[in-house]
């Protein structure tokens, strides 16, 4: 989902630039805040060049709210930690009763859905045959082939040769999905949650599917369309036809045979229309053409299609100062969920430059003529442009400096024409600048429906194209702030724009009529359903434990009390350039002073002063000290300003060549008032503690002999760069020790190939630490789109299972959850007539969940601004006997454990760690970090 | 209805390149290029292909389509809507595109006052009764300056194999050249038009005697434009149903004009400010830095005026100046730039448009920039 909708140009730029930004802050920065608000505006659907699958909230670093210090010390749990170890199944929440009582409210929701058979089979089917995905088989079943209940599962298992189905421990599922809506409501406060989904009521009884044959055969698809169209009096005006399959909202009396005349030669062609299926109106087969119908509705409302989404340029907000326009718009999608058909609608924005690309190039030229071409390439390649003359968006892949509009190209007719003549003749546009270079777009390899090859290359004129997204983001953070402010929507504004769209559809007879042709009626309001807020988690420090405040933030406690374990830093080196000597001394002193408050002991460093701040000087000095001293625990470098190359050089030395934990501090963050510096130093100290293997805080983990694994993939943006998998596994019962691995793999290969190796290594290490192997393994896999779920199931999971065989007699139970940051889903809560963000810990596991997979939505973090975007978890495998509720609670617990932020984050900590690791290795190191560092969070 | 697909692409022997329907549309486009009509109507516009081409002709301000069948118009009508790009740089000319559902046998006042009315492959689809009323409606009532009528030339049919009686099942008749010309001449005579005959789709060599595949009559009104009063006497009852209407963003619309002016003013002022600061810095550093290098750097930024704005006529009193941290760029300086001048017309309008949108000096004569703020930004 994320990959698909994700990133408008704006988002794309944002992702890339912010990614860079984040790296600069990486070391010094304060703890990562949870994603504070959503950045609307995903659109064009083009993959960002530097897309990091697991990138945290896209807006994450736009604002850096200081961690709120408002946490009140709870009266609870000073003193000993109440942490009774419990086995799975006896989670301290009385699951049994909960399972027994279905929620009435929820049941009502589903009564409407009129899908009695579907969802029920899903979960239950899974219960019967364990290591099989809930999805596919269930979908087949519901289409009326009950005889194959178990066979596909066995077949699937059979395809894993090393693990014959007979050896699978077939155990009953304690928490099977009984039926949509009758799922257990477990402990936790019920909360009414609004979603950015609109229920679609199907008025028609059925949709009828027909097979259309032409005799003699008609090859040309458009000809078939035309021939069938001539028989509207038979089929009616409302049709959906793809060339051979025809959907109608009406039942034809019997097989229809009509005759038509082929225009070309007058030959008679017989058309036979034969019914093949009666479909529920909410059938998956109908969804594609329902979406086509809905696009028509949007067009009737005069919304403009740009990329995949619809915008209203006439309602633009114009940011004159930056020559930008912000277009409001919507992303719309009809999907089938557990609770029936829904329109998923999101209010989004698109940022477009009101200048042509040519003008933009001029302004680059004015700034510095000498680096003009390089700078243009840097700023333009990868951005998405829209054209003046048609309704298309193109990603710029290159710039052809040798071509001009006076060059020619070949039309489809074979005619040669210059760009100048072409635009003049076709669009009446006179090209003003005849010496401009041309922009190159290379379409992805894709076959058109007719089987024709697409063009290899599209050349565009800078004068006729406009950039979308935010330019020069790197330099001008004020622009970013201004633009973001314009786009920011509070939950109530977001809600208002959704209801506005619904009202417009309702008020337009044409628009609602268009839907009604297929018997579709939109609910007048967004969908409200019952969610539940998971119980608060207790945060455990060394001597105390407490329930955090409602904001779920514990910065105050963290900086006042001792962490679970602290590493004494006695042998460490501080490297700084001569002109920052005062700052370096001050830093060392402040660290010594402040370390007590965070429970650490930091000794005097060996001060290494550099004569200048060139990279070579740093590198030589660091190499020297690390080569001669093997006792060094930590290397701390002060660098002036944001210097990516210097940062990379230091990190490469300290992570790959002579592995030692390292911390780089940008001198700018150490300037300012004393109070600010103290808090920066405190954060740095905490981070150093993590990097050296210390533990900051934990939560109660009742599951015994558990290993939690987080995985994420980083894709390099330039071609040929290898993808990097970050793999992080827990090593102790309280999940505060992590073991990490990095694997490089071939370009754009999403799915982890070398998993087996990583897992075997992690298990080995676990054994060494615990003298036993974990009995349960829970994997959180980030960066997988819906379409790739099957691949995870068929490819990654077998790899991991194969790995278990390398250990004697070892068959751990396993759960695999795919983590999807659902950029297009929103949760609202209504408090005192006001739309607000629901509390962190809000879960929804029915109605809007997938009808194919076991999934749930969890909002773990508190969003400070904007709307609340939950994370979706898809459980693709569960042999661990973990009920849905257990998985939810475990997930929520893990969202508390990211040590760079004293609060909850959007995704489980192991995912976030894996993400950071993959990013560092892929973007900076380009090599696997040293083996000595694998048992600590050196990448934080 | 499907008149576009008559001949191409399935003709075995005769194949026109470009396809004949494109040649007909090109003929109209050329005619528009020649006469520069402001108001154009296409009767029997079907799926609006011709209208889609004509909307790019920059002389046209009103573009109207009429067809008897609403559903065929609706299929592609969204293509006549403004494009997202049209909102980024609104055109100077206004453009309104309208589609009506109705018959050419009926009069509707919305069709009055046109410069060009095209009837491409229309008349052969008309029933006898409709054809009879057609000249009175088009030439008598609408009375545009130019009427273009095209229709198949039945003499050419011999060269088209596999055809039944007519080229399209919906054709009610197909005329030879003599039949069409006598009808056209008679019509022209009765309504005081002159008519010239031409066509598209040349016959193959050796068969020139059959004439063009499509015959075309171009009618030009001989009397001057009927006055407004004369038109208002005509029946005003609307019988057509409006199916679609799109008003393009243009600088004639104050909302877009205001934005365009504001954007241009801010852009111009920023440029002036930058070059002023550059110059000051260059002068300042000439004393203590390498002057050659500074001078060199300064050069391009001054050029920016001439590059994309046209050289302004700058008088002494209009010079921008710096006072402390504030740069003042007089409005008169900004107004002296041709592009700004052309957009606003008068200085008063300039002041009106930017009122409240940019920071002005206390007397309202200059745009103010705080250089300190600017530095913070970078």
Looking at chain A, the whole-number percentage of residues with pLDDT higher than 90 is 34
Q: Give pLDDT, residue A77.
A: 30
Q: A392: how many CB neighbours lie within 10 A of its CB?
A: 16
* pLDDT greater at residue A207 or residue A123: A207
Residue A137 has pLDDT above 60, yes or no: no
B212 three-class SS: coil
Kindly state whether residues B220 and B93 are assigned to the same domain: yes
Select which of A750, A796, A845, A855 is catalytic.
Answer: A750
Q: Quote the pLDDT of residue A905.
A: 92
Q: Do B188 and B327 belong to one domain?
A: no
Question: What is the span of the domain harbouring residue B331?
Answer: 253-281+316-377
Q: Is A712 a catalytic residue?
A: yes
Does the residue B291 lie in any domain? no
Note the pLDDT of residue A363.
Answer: 85
Task: Tell me which of B85, B270, B372 to substitute to probe the interface with A (most A C-beta atoms closer than 10 Å).
Answer: B85
**For position A906, what pLDDT does the model report?**
92
- Return the pLDDT at A781: 93
Residues B236, B274 share a domain: no
What is the rounded distance in angstroms from the CA atom of residue A718 to the CA atom of residue A619?
Answer: 27
Query: How large is the average pLDDT for residues A662-680?
Result: 87
Q: Are residues B47 and B195 in the same domain?
A: yes
Q: pLDDT-derived band of residue A112, with 50, 70 and 90 as boundaries?
A: very low
Residue that is last in its domain, among B194, B229, B248: B248
- Write down the pLDDT at residue A729: 96
pLDDT at A312 over 80: yes
**Average pLDDT score over chain A:** 77
**If you average pLDDT over residues A117-134, what whole number do you get?**
32
CATH number at residue B333: 1.10.10
pLDDT at residue A91 greater than cutoff 70: no
Given a contact cutoff of 8 angstroms between Cβ atoms, the answer to whether B104 and B120 are in contact is: no
Q: Which of A864 and A169 is assigned the larger pLDDT?
A: A864
| DSSP helix, strand, coil percent of chain B (3-state; round to 5) | 45, 20, 35
A471 pLDDT tier (thresholds 50, 70, 90): low
Cis peptide before B18 (omega within 30 of 0): yes
Residue B269 shares a structural domain with residue B244 = no
- DSSP letters, A75-122, are STTBSS-------TT--TT-HHHHHH-B-HHHHHHHHHH--SSHHHHH
- Domain membership of residue B3 (yes or no) is no
Which residues, listed in sequence order, are joined to residue A201 by a DSSP beta bridge?
A: A521
Which long-range contacts link A761-767 to residues 24+ away (Cβ below 8 Å)?
A762/A707, A762/A709, A762/A727, A762/A729, A762/A731, A763/A707, A763/A803, A763/A804, A763/A807, A765/A729, A765/A731, A765/A739, A765/A934, A765/A935, A766/A707, A766/A729, A766/A731, A766/A739
Same domain, B222 and B265: no
* In a domain? residue B2: no
Nearest CA in chain B to A296: B78
Last residue of a domain, one of B248, B273, B292: B248
Q: Is the pLDDT of residue A548 over 70?
A: yes
Residue B310 in any domain: the answer is no
At which of B227, B248, B269 does a domain end? B248
B302 in any annotated domain: no
pLDDT above 60: residue A61: no
In percent, the amount of chain A with pLDDT more than 70 equals: 76
Note whether B336 and B214 are same-domain residues: no
What pLDDT, on a 0 to 100 scale, did the predictor assign at position A625?
A: 87
User: Is residue A416 flagged as an active site residue?
Assistant: no
- Model confidence at A449, in pLDDT bands (50, 70, 90)? low
Q: Which residue of B has its CA nearest to A358?
A: B308
Query: How many domains does chain B divide into?
Result: 2
Q: Do B2 and A313 touch (CB under 8 A)?
A: no
**pTM of the shown model:** 0.76
Could you tell me the mean pLDDT of each successive run of 10 residues in chain B, 378 residues long?
Answer: 40 71 92 94 93 91 94 87 89 93 92 94 93 93 94 86 73 92 95 94 85 94 69 70 93 89 87 82 62 39 42 57 82 86 86 83 82 48
Q: Do B162 and A327 touch (CB under 8 A)?
A: no
Tell me the C-alpha distance between A435 and A446, whole Å.
Answer: 32
Substitution target from B27, B84, B99 for chain A, most A beta carbons within 10 A: B84
Q: Do A354 and B263 touch (CB under 8 A)?
A: yes
Residue A649 to residue A623: CA distance in whole angstroms: 11
User: For residue A847, what are the contacts with CB-CB under 8 A and spacing of at least 6?
Assistant: A106, A109, A110, A180, A181, A337, A338, A339, A527, A529
A133 pLDDT more than 80: no
Chain B residues with CB-CB distance to A352 below 8 A: 84, 88
Q: Rounded to an integer, what distance in angstroms lies between the CA atom of residue B318 and that of residue B334?
A: 9
Q: Which of A220, A226, A264 to mutate to test the interface with B (most CBs of B within 10 A)?
A: A264
Clarify whether A97 is annotated catalytic. Answer: no
pLDDT value, residue A342: 93
- B interface with A, Cβ–Cβ below 8 Å: 2, 5, 10, 12, 17-18, 56-58, 71, 78, 81-89, 162-164, 249, 259, 262-263, 266-267, 300-301, 304, 307-308, 357, 376-378
Half-sphere exposure of A597 (CA within 13 A, CB side): 18
Count of C-beta atoms within a 10 Å radius of residue A342 = 25
In a domain, B32, yes or no: yes
- DSSP helix/strand/coil, A245: strand
* pLDDT given at position A139: 34
β-strand partners of B291: none
pLDDT at position A357: 92
pLDDT > 80? residue A148: no
Q: Tell me the β-bridge partners of B327.
A: B322, B369
pLDDT of residue B187: 95
Averaged pLDDT, A380-402: 89
Which entry of A109, A338, A613, A712 is annotated as an active-site residue? Answer: A712
Based on the domain organization, do B242 and B320 belong to the same domain?
A: no
Please tell me the predicted confidence (pLDDT) of residue B370.
77
pLDDT band at A18 (very low <50, low <70, confident <90, very high): very low
In chain A, the residue whose alpha carbon lies closest to the alpha carbon of B164 is A266
Q: Is A558:A697 a contact under the CB 8 Å cutoff?
A: yes
> What are the pLDDT digits (tens) for A325-352?
999 999 999 999 888 999 999 999 999 9
Answer whether B84 sits within 8 Å of A386, measured CB to CB. yes
Pair B258, B125 in one domain: no
A224 pLDDT more than 70: yes
Indicate yes or no: CB of A429 within 8 angstroms of CB of B267: no
Report if residue B222 sits inside a domain: yes
Q: Which two three-digit tokens encode residue A366?
A: 């004015």
A908 has a pLDDT exceeding 90: yes
Flag whether B350 is in a domain: yes
| CATH code for the domain of B204 | 3.40.50.150
Shared domain check, B164 and B266: no
Q: Give the one of B56, B87, B162 whose C-beta lies nearest to A313's C-beta.
A: B87
Residue A384: name the closest of A15, A60, A823 by CA: A15
Using an 8 Å CB-CB cutoff, list chain A residues near B339: none
pLDDT value at position B215? Answer: 95
Q: Do B227 and B269 reside in the same domain of the chain?
A: no
CA distance B166 to B2: 14
pLDDT higher than threshold 50 for residue A160: no
Instruction: Check whether A319 has a pLDDT greater than 80.
Output: yes
Q: Are residues B174 and B76 in the same domain?
A: yes
């Amino acid at each position: 989902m994320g990959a698909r909708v994700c990133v408008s140009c704006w988002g794309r730029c944002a992702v890339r630039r912010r990614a860079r930004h984040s790296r600069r802050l990486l070391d010094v920065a304060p703890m990562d805040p949870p994603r504070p608000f959503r950045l609307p505006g995903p659109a064009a659907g083009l993959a960002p060049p530097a897309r990091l699958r697991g990138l945290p909230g896209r807006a994450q670093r736009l604002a850096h709210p200081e961690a709120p210090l408002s946490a009140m010390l709870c009266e609870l749990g000073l003193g000993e930690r109440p942490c009774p170890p419990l086995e799975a199944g006896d989670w301290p929440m009385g699951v049994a009763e909960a399972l027994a009582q279905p929620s009435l409210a929820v049941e009502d929701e589903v009564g409407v859905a009129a899908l009695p058979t579907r969802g029920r089979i899903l979960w239950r089917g899974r219960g019967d045959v364990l290591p099989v995905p809930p999805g596919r088989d269930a979908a087949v079943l519901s289409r009326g082939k009950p005889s194959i209940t178990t066979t596909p599962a066995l077949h699937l298992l059979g395809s894993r040769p090393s693990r014959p189905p007979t050896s699978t421990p077939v155990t009953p599922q304690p928490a099977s999905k009984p039926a949509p809506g009758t799922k257990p409501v477990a402990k936790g406060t019920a909360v009414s949650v609004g979603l950015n989904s609109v229920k679609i009521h199907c008025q028609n009884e059925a949709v009828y599917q027909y097979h259309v044959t032409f005799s003699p055969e008609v090859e040309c698809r458009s000809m078939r369309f035309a021939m069938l169209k001539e028989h509207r009096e038979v089929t009616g005006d409302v049709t959906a036809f793809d060339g051979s399959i025809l959907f109608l909202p009406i039942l034809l009396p019997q097989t229809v045979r009509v005759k038509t005349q082929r225009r070309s030669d007058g030959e008679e062609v017989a058309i036979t229309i034969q019914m093949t299926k009666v479909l529920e109106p909410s059938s998956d087969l109908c969804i594609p053409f329902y979406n086509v119908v809905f696009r028509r509705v949007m067009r009737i409302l005069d919304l403009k299609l740009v990329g995949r989404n619809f915008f209203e340029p006439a309602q633009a907000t114009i940011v004159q100062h930056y020559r930008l326009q912000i277009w409001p718009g919507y992303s719309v999608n009809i999907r089938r969920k557990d609770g029936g058909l829904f329109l998923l609608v999101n209010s989004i924005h698109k940022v477009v430059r009101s200048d042509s690309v040519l003008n933009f190039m001029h302004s680059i030229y004015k700034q510095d003529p000498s680096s003009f071409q390089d700078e243009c390439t840097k700023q333009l390649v990868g951005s998405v442009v829209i054209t003046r003359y048609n309704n298309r968006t193109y990603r710029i892949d290159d710039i052809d400096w040798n071509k001009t509009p006076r060059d020619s190209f070949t039309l489809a007719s074979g005619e040669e024409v210059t760009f100048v003549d072409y635009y003049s003749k076709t669009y009446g546009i006179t090209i003003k600048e005849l010496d401009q270079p041309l922009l190159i777009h290379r379409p992805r390899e894709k076959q058109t429906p007719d089987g024709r090859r697409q063009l290899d290359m599209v050349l565009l004129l800078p004068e006729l194209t406009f950039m979308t997204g935010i330019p020069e983001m790197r330099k001008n953070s004020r622009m970013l702030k201004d633009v973001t402010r314009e786009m920011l929507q509070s939950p109530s504004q977001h809600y208002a724009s959704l209801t506005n769209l619904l009202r417009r559809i309702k008020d337009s007879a044409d628009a609602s009529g268009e839907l009604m042709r297929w018997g579709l009626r939109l609910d007048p309001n967004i969908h409200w359903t019952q969610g539940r807020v998971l119980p608060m988690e207790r945060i455990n420090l060394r001597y105390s434990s407490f329930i955090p405040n409602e904001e779920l933030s514990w910065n105050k406690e963290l900086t006042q009390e001792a962490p679970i374990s602290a590493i004494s830093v006695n042998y460490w080196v501080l490297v700084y350039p001569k002109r920052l000597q005062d700052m370096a001394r001050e830093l060392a002193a402040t660290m010594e002073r402040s370390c007590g408050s965070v429970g650490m002991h930091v000794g005097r460093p060996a001060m290494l002063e550099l004569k200048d701040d060139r990279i070579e000087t740093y590198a030589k000095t660091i190499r020297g000290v690390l080569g001669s001293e093997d006792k060094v625990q930590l290397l701390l470098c002060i660098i002036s300003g944001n210097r990516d190359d210097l940062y990379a050089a230091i990190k490469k030395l300290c992570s790959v060549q002579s592995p030692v934990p390292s911390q780089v501090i940008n001198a700018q963050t150490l300037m300012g008032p004393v109070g600010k510096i103290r808090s920066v130093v405190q954060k740095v100290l905490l981070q150093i503690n993590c990097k050296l293997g210390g533990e900051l805080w934990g939560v109660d983990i009742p599951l015994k002999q558990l290993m939690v694994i987080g995985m994420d993939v980083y894709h390099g943006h330039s071609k040929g760069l290898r993808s990097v998998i970050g793999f992080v596994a827990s090593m102790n019962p309280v999940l505060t020790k992590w073991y990490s691995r990095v694997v490089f793999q071939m370009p754009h290969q999403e799915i982890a190939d070398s998993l087996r190796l990583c897992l075997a290594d992690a298990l080995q290490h676990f054994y060494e630490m615990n003298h036993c192997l974990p009995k349960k393994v829970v994997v959180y896999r980030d960066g997988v789109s819906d379409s790739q779920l099957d691949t995870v199931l068929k490819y990654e999971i077998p790899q991991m299972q194969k790995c278990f065989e390398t250990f004697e007699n070892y068959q751990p139970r396993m759960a695999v959850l795919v983590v999807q940051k659902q950029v297009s889903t929103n949760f609202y809560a209504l408090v005192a007539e006001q739309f607000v963000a629901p509390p962190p810990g809000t879960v929804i596991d029915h109605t809007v969940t997938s009808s194919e997979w076991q999934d749930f939505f969890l909002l773990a973090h508190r969003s400070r601004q904007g709307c609340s975007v939950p994370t979706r978890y898809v459980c693709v495998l569960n042999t661990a006997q973990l009920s849905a509720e257990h998985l939810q609670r475990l997930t929520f617990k893990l969202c508390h454990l990211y040590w760079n932020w004293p609060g909850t984050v959007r995704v489980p900590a192991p995912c976030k760690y894996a993400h950071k690791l993959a990013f560092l290795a892929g973007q900076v190191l380009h090599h696997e970090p040293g083996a000595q560092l694998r048992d600590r969070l050196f990448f934080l | 209805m499907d008149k576009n697909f008559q001949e191409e692409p399935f003709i075995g022997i005769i194949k026109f390149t470009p396809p004949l329907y494109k040649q007909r549309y090109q003929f109209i486009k050329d005619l528009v290029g020649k006469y520069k009509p402001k108001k154009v109507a296409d009767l029997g516009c079907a799926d609006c292909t011709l209208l889609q081409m004509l909307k790019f002709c920059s002389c046209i301000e009103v573009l109207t389509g009429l067809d008897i069948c609403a559903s065929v118009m609706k299929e592609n009508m969204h293509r006549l809507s403004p494009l997202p790009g049209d909102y980024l740089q609104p055109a100077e000319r206004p453009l309104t595109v309208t589609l009506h559902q109705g018959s050419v046998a009926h009069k509707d006042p919305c069709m009055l006052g046109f410069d060009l009315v095209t009837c491409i492959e229309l008349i052969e689809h008309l029933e006898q009764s409709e054809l009879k009323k057609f000249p009175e409606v088009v030439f008598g009532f609408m009375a545009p300056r130019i009427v273009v009528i095209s229709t198949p030339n039945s003499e050419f049919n011999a060269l088209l194999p596999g055809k039944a009686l007519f080229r399209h099942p919906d054709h009610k008749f197909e005329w030879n050249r003599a039949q069409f010309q006598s009808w056209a001449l008679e019509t022209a005579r009765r309504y005081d038009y002159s008519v010239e005959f031409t066509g598209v789709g040349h016959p193959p060599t050796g068969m020139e005697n059959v004439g063009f595949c499509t015959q075309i009559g171009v009618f030009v009104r001989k009397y001057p434009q009927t006055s407004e009063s004369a038109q208002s006497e005509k029946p005003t009852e609307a019988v057509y149903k409006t199916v679609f209407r799109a008003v393009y963003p243009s600088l004639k619309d104050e909302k877009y004009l205001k934005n365009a002016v504001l954007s241009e003013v801010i852009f111009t002022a920023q440029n002036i400010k930058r070059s002023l600061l550059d110059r000051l810095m260059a002068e300042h550093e000439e004393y203590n830095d390498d002057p050659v290098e500074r001078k060199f750097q300064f050069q391009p930024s001054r050029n920016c005026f001439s590059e994309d704005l046209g050289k302004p006529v700058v008088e002494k009193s209009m010079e921008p100046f710096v006072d402390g941290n504030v740069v003042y760029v007089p409005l008169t300086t900004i107004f002296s730039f041709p592009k700004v001048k052309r957009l606003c017309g008068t200085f008063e309008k300039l002041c009106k448009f930017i009122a409240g949108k940019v920071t002005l000096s206390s007397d309202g004569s200059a745009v103010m920039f705080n250089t300190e703020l600017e530095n913070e930004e970078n």
